[in-house]
Amino acid sequence: MAVRIDKHDNGSPWWGAVFFAVLGMTAFLYWPGLNGPYLLDDLMHLPHLEQIHDAPSLDRFLAVINGIDPARFSRPLTMTTFAAQYQDWPHHPWMFKYVNLAIHLINGCLLCLVFMKLGRLRQDEPNLARKIALSASCIWLIHPLNISTTLYIIQRGTQFSTLFILLSILGYLHGRQLLLDAGRSRLNGYLWLSGSVALGGVLATLGKENGSLLTLFILVLEGTLLRRIPRPVGWRAWSGLFLLAPLLLLLALIGIDYKVHIETPTIDYKFTLTERILSNFVVLSDYLRQIALPSLARLGLMHDDYPVSHGVLDPVHTLPAMLLILGLIGSALLWRKNRPVWAFGVLWYFAGHTLESTVLPLHLYFEHRNYLPAMGLWYAAVNSFFRLWDKREAIRLRPFLTVCGAFYCLLLGFLTRSESTLWGNGEQLALIWSQNHPTSRWAQGQLATMLIMQRQPVAALEIYQKLLKANTADKTPYFDWLKLACHFPEIPLPAMGEMRQAFRSEIMYLPSIDLLLSEWNGGKCKQIDAAFLLELLALRPVDPARIPVHYFAVLDYYTALVHHKNGQLEQALTHIDAALRLSPYYFMVFKKTEWLMGAQRYAEALQILDRQYPEIKLSRLTRGYETEKIENWKKFIRQLILSTQANPGNQTPP
């Protein structure tokens, strides 16, 4: 059966003019927020751009792209764009936010094209399809819930993942259209489908891990909006290989690390798996309320104080939230045949939350998790609105519907402009967030950062001390305190005895230690000496069995760095050997080799590379480059050894 699709109905050029006006309006709404400061994880991940500043080179670019942990992918596509902007760090956060805004606008364009393509495939009346596509993408573009994705620099990963998912779905829908055209080769259609899913899925995942859900989104499309579109011969075999198999692989990968990533609590997530699942029912219902009618008082990043549900009735609103979420999912599954648009909106939304709002041990609440999932809800809502509009029975209601729709869009625009203006004022942002979230470490920490910029270190110290007293399970403020003492000599160091007691049951946040050591190496911490750092790095929890081996390996590596900086080579070698026994990362091997070469112990340096080369945990991203680098080092060391043997009286390498 061939379905006729009118490819020449491009509509009036006014539609394009209106959409470009929407893009301009979106930029206007977001523009004040570009003046805002760096926030939270921006200050954890972007400082690594400094290593490119010092001496731009390929290996430094690759080190930044590879992320903090070289054993893992760290959203390399996203990090590549940050590395390309290394000159903007740290003085131009505006430029980072500007790029994010540009990506947001591009995503809005792609979303409109996807909705247009869906309308064409479903053979909707052309004017209706255009109105739905334009209105749904317009609402999504200007919705204030997307502020924390666009203006929070580090969430560029969410934007890139969304961009490639939308591109992939566009290509997929084009392939489905080719398969419906009797005059086209079926092979062309399957090539478009396969290429879009394979390439788009890889690129989306390199942007952020959520990109691995691409095939789940496509299955939602096929089970709802595209359910009645004919499928050609071979469809089942193709969908099993390209749609179902990747999902099964994803489940297998999560299952392999179940003990590490799900069952075992970590430093930031002090709740059980059951508590997390119960809490997420409340979180998802809260998201839906914010999507439908956003509240400025509840918008923002500082939700680390979000209450945990300990039981079905603890707190009491957990049960209604469960019934709401399960009811929505159940109704969508039951009505996917008779009400495919409704089912699509609901199932698309919950498919987008499958990774981050289910069993993985992540923070409970982040607005950016709705960036892609909310698209389906807006398509369903706008579709229902215009179909109601077209009914004869609703003719008398059209003026009322027009006023309601216009008022709602104006309300969203007003809220977005207000929130964007707040994000553009760092001081006001910190004050309001700290007032709205008095028990949030993130909000109070942001206020402390503002006070530090105003040269009020004593007030900032009081905030850190209050946080330590208020939340006995979170000891990260100790490192904020230490960094504060680095820059302000009048601030006393925290008592080592207190920290020793604190970290008997807790682990230290490694990125915080990394930043502290970076400042100490740069000579910015006059109060902190090597002895203090070594004592700090020697702190270990009394129950190490639940802690990943990587944690102890990095602590040993940091200890080795401090010893070497202090001129204690043998102690540095001892600790870096301990780190290598636990986790043989390539950068540790290179560092040890570098130290031995500096001490003119060339034979030992060569032996290290020869012996530990097969054991090194090479990054999957830069494996070829690192392997070549290791071989070049070995070749260079052999030349040094030959040169030294030829000139035994001259111990200085040529």
- Cα–Cα distance, 539 to 524 (Å, whole number): 23
Burial 327-341 (b: 16+ CB within 10 A, else e): ebeeebeeebeebbb
- Neighbouring CB atoms inside 10 A of 208's CB total 23
**Residue-level pLDDT at 267:** 44
Contact 503, 541 (CB under 8 A): yes
Retrieve residue 584's tokens.
Answer: 């043989």
End-to-end CA distance of the chain: 77
**Residue-level pLDDT at 584:** 78
- Cα–Cα distance, 651 to 654 (Å, whole number): 9
> Within 13 Å of residue 632, how many CA atoms lie on the same side as its CB?
7
Contacts of 407 (CB under 8 A, 6+ apart): none
Residue spans per domain, the chain: 23-38+90-420
- Cα–Cα distance, 552 to 564 (Å, whole number): 18
**Residue-level pLDDT at 606:** 82
Contact 378, 145 (CB under 8 A): no
Retrieve residue 329's tokens.
Answer: 């999912």
Q: Describe the crossing of helices 186-207 and 214-223 by its angle, rounded to 10 degrees.
A: 130
- 233 three-state secondary structure: coil
- 617 three-state secondary structure: strand
- Cα–Cα distance, 542 to 550 (Å, whole number): 17
Phi, psi of 311 (to 5 degrees): -165, 175
- Cα–Cα distance, 3 to 22 (Å, whole number): 33
If we measure between CA atoms, which residue out of 70, 257, 76, 226 comes closest to residue 161? 76
If we measure between CA atoms, which residue out of 416, 408, 425 comes closest to residue 145? 416
**Residue-level pLDDT at 12:** 64
**Residue-level pLDDT at 250:** 85
Contacts of 320 (CB under 8 A, 6+ apart): 285
**Residue-level pLDDT at 270:** 64
> What type of residue is 304?
D
> Within 13 Å of residue 423, how many CA atoms lie on the same side as its CB?
32
- Cα–Cα distance, 248 to 405 (Å, whole number): 42
- Residues of the chain predicted below pLDDT 70: 1-12, 67-74, 182-184, 257-270, 392-394, 471-473, 612-626, 646-654
- Cα–Cα distance, 488 to 482 (Å, whole number): 10
Alpha helices for 293-339 (secondary structure H): 318-334
If we measure between CA atoms, which residue out of 348, 286, 273 comes closest to residue 318? 286
471 alpha carbon, distance to own chain's centre? 26
**Residue-level pLDDT at 214:** 95
Alpha helices for 257-339 (secondary structure H): 258, 273-292, 318-334
